[in-house]
Structure formats: C-alpha cells, structure tokens
Amino acid sequence: MLNKDGGVAELDYAPCYYGRSKLKFRGPMRPMPRDYVAFVGSTETYGKFVARPFPALVEEMTRTRCLNLGSANAGLDSFIQDPTVISLARNAQMVVLQVMGPQFMSNRFYSVHPRRNDRFIKANAPLKRLYPSIDFTEFTFVGHLIRRLQKASPRKFQTLRQGLQQNWVQRMNMAVQLFARPVVLLWLDEGSKTPADLLDRQLLSQLETDRVEVLRINPDHWVSAQGLEGMIFDRGDARAAHNCLSFAYHRLVAQTVTPFVQRRTR
C-alpha cells in the first residue's frame, strides 16, 4: 500500500471473528480478559485506513483492555441481532457505542442487508406508495436511495424521516437494554454519510439516562488541517480515504473518550 505521500506502507487489519458471529471485526483477535471496554460501531470504529483506530488509542491512554467490535459498513441492526456481540457487550465493564444513522437499518419502508447495512435490498409497500414514480430496482446503496428520495420530494421525505427516526429510537433503546451495561453513545462527524435532518441532538436526548451518556465529537480546526496525515491507503483508495475519519480525528476521539472510560472503570 501507499501512504498519502506515495511511500510504501503496509496496513494489516487482521480481520477476525468472535464466537459464532458472522461479522468481520478489526483484529487481531483478542483473548477475553476479565475487565475490558467494548467498542461497538461501523467503519469509523473499525478504523479504515489507520493503523491505530481510537479503541486502540484509548487502551494506550487508559491501560484498560479495549475490544474493537467495529465492523465495516455495519449498522445498528447488525449488532443487536448478533448474540455474540450482545454477550461480549454484557460482559464488558462498559460499552462505547458509535451512533449509526437511522437510515442504515431495516424498517417498515425498506430492508437492508443483515450485515452490510449500507446495502439496500428492497422497498416495502409503504415506500412504494409514498414514492410511486420511483424505480427502486436502480438502488444498491442506502445512501444513494436517501439522497434521491430527499431530492425527489422534500415533503414526502419528512414522512420517511419521521418513520426512520422512530424506528431508530426504538432500536437504540433495545441495544441499551440488551447490552445491560453503562453506555457512552459516541456521535461522530461522518460528513455527508448521515444527513443532518435525520440525526440531531433532540433525537439523542431521548436516550440519555444515568447509565447512558451522549458524547458529541466534532473535528476542530487543527484536526481538519491535518487532512490525510497518518492514513495508509493506495492511490485507488484516495477518494475513500477522504470520506473516512482521519488519524488526527481518531486521536481526538480517543482523548475525548478517555475520561469517560476512566470514570466508569475505576
């Protein structure tokens, strides 16, 4: 592989599986210690194009074992339907759960792939009635679908948005109940991945309790200025790397999460 400056570099994600899970996680596989923090999330938690994603950095900063249960392109559905993930979360001291968009899960309007939740499978009857002129066979990815529907009719999209948000709150509450551990909801800046009107502070505030905290982390000016510094990718992946969290952002996330982990694992 090449780093951003064109030098030769190697990045081995050491993908692994835990238990009977069909999800592919960021490796290397870790032996299960007595005390650990479980990090559950999608591509951002997995740490695409970075050698040390934020779960690994938090482990360095806290000296607490951190289990990276990040899986590329997964959504909330992937995790709450996986008995292995639920078991690993239940046995952790706490869970850091990445906030994943309401659009990346099956709902009454459409279905997504059970593991790659960014993949659109089919439209259900309510969506076909809402958008009768749309040919849904042309969509492969959820992101493309959402952008198209929003552009086709902002008014109709509000109906879809409300349904997605209600479904999301229910599933998030289910996740918290299933994990049965203190949870930090990690809300990251994903760029254009999740439209602003699908996910907002008011929506997340519905989930806050004495055992559930919301942590919003926006990249500051310094992080933005670092660009692709520290990321590892070949030339063909340059565009994809631009759409992933930078290494500087991973470090900011780790620095921000660390006090929460230290407080919950004393």
Q: What's residue 90's pLDDT? A: 98
Q: What's residue 123's pLDDT? A: 98
For residue 239, being part of any structural domain is answered with yes
For residue 206, being part of any structural domain is answered with yes
* Choice among 49-63, 76-90, 146-160, 233-247 with the minimum mean pLDDT: 233-247
CA-wise closest residue to 153 among 183, 167, 133: 133
For residue 155, being part of any structural domain is answered with yes
Q: What's residue 3's pLDDT? A: 47
What range does the domain containing 57 cover? 37-264
Predicted confidence (pLDDT) per residue in 37-70, tens digit: 999 999 999 999 999 999 999 999 999 999 999 9
Q: What's residue 44's pLDDT? A: 96
For residue 178, being part of any structural domain is answered with yes
pLDDT at 195 over 80: no
CB of 238 closer than 8 Å to CB of 46: no
C-alpha 253/C-alpha 218 separation (Å) is: 9
For residue 208, being part of any structural domain is answered with yes
The domain tally of the chain equals 1
Q: Residue 192: pLDDT band by 50, 70, 90 thresholds?
A: low
pTM as predicted: 0.93
Q: What's residue 262's pLDDT? A: 97
pLDDT at 1 over 70: no
In 12-93, DSSP assigns E strands to 37-41, 66-70
Predicted confidence (pLDDT) per residue in 138-148, tens digit: 999 999 999 99
Give the domain CATH number at 140: 3.40.50.1110
C-alpha 30/C-alpha 120 separation (Å) is: 32
